[in-house]
């Protein structure tokens, strides 16, 4: 097959392959195999070695084994539904081959008496005898070559047999002739000089390949680069949108900054500069402001807002929850108090009359700054001249959602996304490569590290004494209940139990919040905690991360080894946001595993979200770290950021070179298609949607 034919072939639907019925196609669909290329990524999970036949006195129970035997006696049941049995022997022993649901004629044909047959299957032991039930293979010994192979094992769906599946994949591998190399010579050399076709065939056929083999690494690199390429293209496209330049002077934002009762950190200043330069430029801003919890992102965003407002454009800020929106709103009122900036809040709770006024004043430009939840972006909100959208992102946005966001304001609208999700270094580019990134790596100087302690659960009496003392000193307490095996129902009952037992001691000074509450009910509880009607707030993991509870400085996290490190770090970030010292107590059940101990130790010794994310990934494997499994955004199916760290580094360099010459991108079209990434870039539009 020539080059372009191979390419077409790979993107054809699976149903164009020959020799398979509707049933198989349905099963493949269940495994999300739709195009022929999808088959390639289902790498074997292991291999069965059939190259050696085993003598019957050397059998191991439970192992898939190939034997060469002759049938000596048939034993067909007189009662239906009982299995048939064939006694077989070699010179060293005997074995029963057992068949369920097979007819006599078939068995006699496939296992003729006194003829050597090669049989492969799993060895069992039953009533003092070896047996094999429904063998995978039975062939006459003169066809030995056929059985004596190393055979790949795939993760199969019920009903899809290995034989059928292998026939499929063999058909495909046979047809993929080599394709013109898309990587530069330099890169190919770094990858060990292996070609694509050779690599993919090897991974399906040769059992000596593991995640570090050069064939595996070649394919992993392809995937990493495809990911970076698509993000790079998104970024370049968005940044090429010419916009009306915003002319501003920094007089307003300077005044705001002077009024803070603290001075900005170096990183905050740098971020403000980067953002200002983007806003002033003739190209659309598409920037991420990344910083750990409590690093002071909000202030940075507000100075950007001030500058945009000063240049006569409107600004919208979207927060993930009502309470957070309200908190931002209150802060904005304070910060902009001495100016004539008109600020309004719009959430699901805003009453109809007020909403109407807001819509009107947005349309005529009287409102300069609108803060709210996602109700900001409903059809009825029509801005007069929207120049900046700021998103305080607590939820995880994937690249597609970010593109949607960029589309929303049209080409004149700058975009600033804030994120506190700590990301291991290797993954930064593949997570956020579509945006320019400003990072705040340092904490405000007056900020003390959160003191983190761990205690076994049976010391709870000591904890109660401790929090009583803290409460008497005017501190409020978060009490986070364990995550029980991902079950919301159990999470809930654990929190209710804890609420009851703490209420016995602290009476009506305890509040409870959990995922089953409605939004409004949650807000009531959170507000009561904010205005100090409660001393203790018991919660499942649902409490909002970004809210400032300046008076809550102790957090107790139960069964802490059930959480991921990054998650624990974010949860504890709820305390210690003000001037007071924050304390976090990690409770654990006795008999912690070594790994669990290690994790708690990391948390106790570090307050750096990025370092913690890195360690978390090393301990748990990368799949879990970013919560991709839950959010359904899985970044990689082949590559592994832990094992292939060096490949990520090579790709970072590679992408810089590729970006230097735009024509280069065309070379990689096939690669993008291969990894299902070709369509993403086309979703970028210039049209305004709000």
Query: How open is the CA angle 205-210-215, to the nearest 5 degrees?
Result: 65
**Contact set for ligand ADP, span 287-326 (CB under 6 A):** 291, 293-299
The strand pairing partners of 438, in sequence order, are 289
Q: How far is the CB of 296 from Mg ion (least distance, A)?
A: 9
Distance CA 74, CA 526 (A): 76
Q: Which is nearer to ligand ADP, 549 or 636 (CB)?
A: 549
Q: How far is the CB of 298 from ligand ADP (least distance, A)?
A: 3
Q: How far is the CB of 545 from Mg ion (least distance, A)?
A: 8
Q: How far is the CB of 425 from ligand ADP (least distance, A)?
A: 20
Q: How far is the CB of 429 from ligand ADP (least distance, A)?
A: 22
CA proximity to 42, closest of 192, 172, 131:
172
**Contact set for ligand ADP, span 368-397 (CB under 6 A):** none
Residue owning tokens 């370092």: 611
- Binder to Mg ion among 152, 433, 546, 641 (CB under 5 A)? 546
Q: How far is the CB of 632 from ligand ADP (least distance, A)?
A: 26
Write the binding mask 504 to 543 for ligand ADP: x where contact by CB under 6 A, - elsewhere.
----------------------------------------
- Which of the listed partners (Mg ion, ligand ADP, none) does 262 bind, with a CB threshold of 5 to 8 Å by partner kind? ligand ADP
Q: How far is the CB of 492 from Mg ion (least distance, A)?
A: 27
Which range in 163-171, 377-385, 530-538, 544-552 contacts Mg ion by CB under 5 A? 544-552
Which tokens belong to 616?
A: 């978390």
Residue owning tokens 């239906």: 80
Q: Which residues of 148-175 are buried (b: 16+ CB within 10 A; e: fewer)?
A: beebbebeeeeebeeebbbebbeebbee
What's the distance, Cα to Cα, between the start and end of the chain in Å?
A: 50
Q: Which residue is nearest to ligand ADP (CB)?
A: 296
Q: What are phi and psi of 639, to 5 degrees?
A: -70, 155
**Contact set for ligand ADP, span 412-431 (CB under 6 A):** 420
Q: How far is the CB of 529 from Mg ion (least distance, A)?
A: 18
Which range in 28-36, 260-268, 400-408, 654-662 contacts ligand ADP by CB under 6 A? 260-268
Q: Which is nearer to Mg ion, 135 or 546 (CB)?
A: 546
Q: What is the dihedral of CA 401, 404, 408, 411, to 10 degrees?
A: 120
Distance CA 166, CA 658 (A): 38
Q: How far is the CB of 323 from ligand ADP (least distance, A)?
A: 13
Instruction: Let me know how long the chain is.
Output: 690
Q: Which is nearer to Mg ion, 84 or 321 (CB)?
A: 321
- Which of the listed partners (Mg ion, ligand ADP, none) does 299 bind, with a CB threshold of 5 to 8 Å by partner kind? ligand ADP
- Which of the listed partners (Mg ion, ligand ADP, none) does 327 bind, with a CB threshold of 5 to 8 Å by partner kind? none
- Tabulate helix, strand, coil % of the chain (nearest 5): 45, 20, 35
Which range in 258-266, 407-415, 584-592, 593-601 contacts ligand ADP by CB under 6 A? 258-266
**Contact set for ligand ADP, span 563-622 (CB under 6 A):** 577
Q: Which is nearer to ligand ADP, 164 or 545 (CB)?
A: 545
- Binder to ligand ADP among 64, 264, 542, 633 (CB under 6 A)? 264
Distance CA 203, CA 46 (A): 10
- Which of the listed partners (ligand ADP, Mg ion, none) does 310 bind, with a CB threshold of 5 to 8 Å by partner kind? none
Q: How many helices (H) and strands (E) does the chain have?
A: 26, 21
Which tokens belong to 448?
A: 């003390």
| Angle between helix 266-280 and helix 297-310 axes, rounded to 10 deg | 30
Q: How far is the CB of 483 from ligand ADP (least distance, A)?
A: 23
Q: Pinpoint the alpha helices (H) of 531-668.
A: 565-572, 594-605, 609-620, 622-625, 628-631, 645-660
- Which of the listed partners (ligand ADP, Mg ion, none) does 293 bind, with a CB threshold of 5 to 8 Å by partner kind? ligand ADP
Number of residues that bind ligand ADP (CB under 6 A): 18
Which tokens belong to 116?
A: 């050597």
CA proximity to 611, closest of 581, 569, 655, 653:
569
What's the half-sphere exposure (Cβ side, CA atoms, 13 Å) at 676?
13
Distance CA 384, CA 359 (A): 10
Q: How far is the CB of 577 from ligand ADP (least distance, A)?
A: 5
* Strand order, beta sheet including 436-440: 343-346, 369-372, 314-318, 386-393, 414-419, 286-291, 436-440
294 is a contact residue toward Mg ion (CB under 5 A): no
- Binder to ligand ADP among 144, 162, 206, 548 (CB under 6 A)? 548
SS3 574: coil
- Binder to ligand ADP among 444, 515, 623, 627 (CB under 6 A)? 444
Q: Which is nearer to ligand ADP, 402 or 577 (CB)?
A: 577
Distance CA 377, CA 235 (A): 23
Binding site for Mg ion (CB under 5 A): 546
Binding site for ligand ADP (CB under 6 A): 262, 264-265, 268, 291, 293-299, 420, 444, 446, 546, 548, 577
């Amino acid at each position: 097959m020539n080059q372009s034919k191979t390419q077409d072939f790979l993107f054809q639907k699976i149903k164009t392959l020959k020799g398979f019925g509707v049933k198989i196609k349905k099963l493949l669909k269940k495994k999300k195999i739709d195009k022929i290329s999808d088959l390639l990524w289902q790498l074997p999970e292991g291999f069965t070695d059939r190259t050696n036949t085993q003598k019957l006195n050397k059998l191991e129970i439970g192992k898939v084994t190939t034997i060469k035997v002759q049938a000596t006696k048939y034993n067909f049941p007189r009662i239906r539904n009982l299995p048939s049995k064939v006694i077989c022997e070699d010179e060293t022993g005997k074995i029963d081959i057992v068949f369920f649901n097979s007819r006599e004629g078939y068995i006699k044909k496939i296992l003729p008496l006194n003829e050597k047959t090669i049989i492969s299957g799993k060895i069992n032991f039953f009533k003092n005898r070896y047996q094999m039930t429904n063998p995978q293979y039975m062939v006459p010994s003169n066809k030995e070559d056929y059985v004596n192979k190393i055979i790949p094992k795939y993760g199969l769906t019920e009903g899809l047999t290995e034989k059928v599946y292998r026939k499929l994949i063999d058909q495909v591998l046979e047809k993929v002739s080599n394709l013109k190399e898309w990587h530069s010579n330099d890169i190919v050399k770094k990858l060990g000089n292996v070609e694509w076709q050779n690599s993919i065939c090897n991974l399906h056929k040769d059992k000596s390949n593991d995640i570090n083999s050069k064939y595996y690494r070649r394919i992993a690199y392809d995937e990493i680069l495809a990911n970076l390429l698509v993000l790079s293209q998104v970024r370049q496209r968005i940044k090429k949108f010419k916009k009306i330049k915003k002319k501003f002077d920094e007089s307003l934002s300077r005044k705001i900054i002077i009024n803070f009762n603290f001075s900005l950190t170096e990183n905050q200043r740098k971020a403000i500069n980067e953002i200002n330069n983007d806003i002033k430029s003739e190209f659309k801003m598409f920037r991420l402001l990344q910083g750990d919890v409590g690093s002071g992102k909000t202030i940075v965003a507000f100075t950007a807002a001030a500058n945009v407002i000063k240049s006569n454009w409107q600004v919208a800020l979207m927060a993930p929850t009502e309470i957070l929106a309200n908190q931002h709103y209150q802060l904005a009122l304070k910060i902009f108090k001495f100016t004539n900036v008109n600020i309004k809040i719009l959430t699901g709770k805003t009453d109809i009359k007020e909403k109407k006024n807001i819509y009107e004043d947005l349309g005529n430009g009287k409102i300069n700054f609108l803060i709210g939840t996602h109700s900001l972006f409903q059809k009825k909100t029509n801005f007069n001249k929207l120049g900046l959208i700021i998103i305080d992102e607590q939820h995880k946005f994937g690249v597609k959602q970010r593109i949607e966001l960029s589309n929303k304001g049209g080409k004149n609208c700058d975009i600033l996304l804030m994120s506190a999700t700590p990301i291991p270094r290797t993954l930064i580019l593949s997570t956020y490569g579509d945006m320019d990134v400003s990072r705040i790596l340092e904490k405000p100087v007056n900020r003390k590290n959160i003191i983190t302690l761990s205690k076994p659960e049976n010391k709870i009496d000591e904890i109660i004494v401790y929090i009583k003392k803290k409460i008497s000193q005017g501190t409020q307490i978060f009490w986070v209940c364990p995550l029980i095996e991902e079950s919301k129902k159990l999470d809930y009952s654990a929190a209710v139990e804890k609420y009851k037992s703490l209420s016995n001691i602290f009476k009506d000074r305890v509040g409870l919040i959990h995922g089953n509450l409605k939004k409004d009910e949650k807000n009531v509880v959170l507000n009561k905690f904010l205005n100090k009607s409660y001393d203790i707030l018991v919660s499942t993991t649902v409490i909002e991360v970004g809210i400032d509870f300046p008076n809550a400085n102790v957090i107790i996290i139960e069964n802490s080894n059930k959480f991921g490190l990054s998650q624990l770090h974010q949860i504890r970030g709820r305390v210690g946001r003000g001037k007071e010292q924050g304390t976090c107590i990690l409770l654990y059940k006795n008999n912690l595993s070594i790994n669990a101990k290690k994790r708690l130790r990391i948390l106790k010794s570090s307050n750096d979200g990025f370092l913690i994310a890195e360690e978390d990934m090393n301990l748990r494997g990368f799949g879990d770290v970013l919560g991709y499994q839950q959010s359904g955004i899985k970044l990689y199916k082949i590559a592994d950021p832990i094992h292939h760290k060096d490949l990520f580094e090579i790709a970072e360099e590679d992408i810089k070179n590729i970006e230097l010459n735009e024509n280069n991108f065309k070379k990689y079209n096939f690669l993008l298609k291969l990894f299902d990434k070709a369509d993403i870039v086309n979703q970028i539009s210039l049209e305004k949607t709000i």
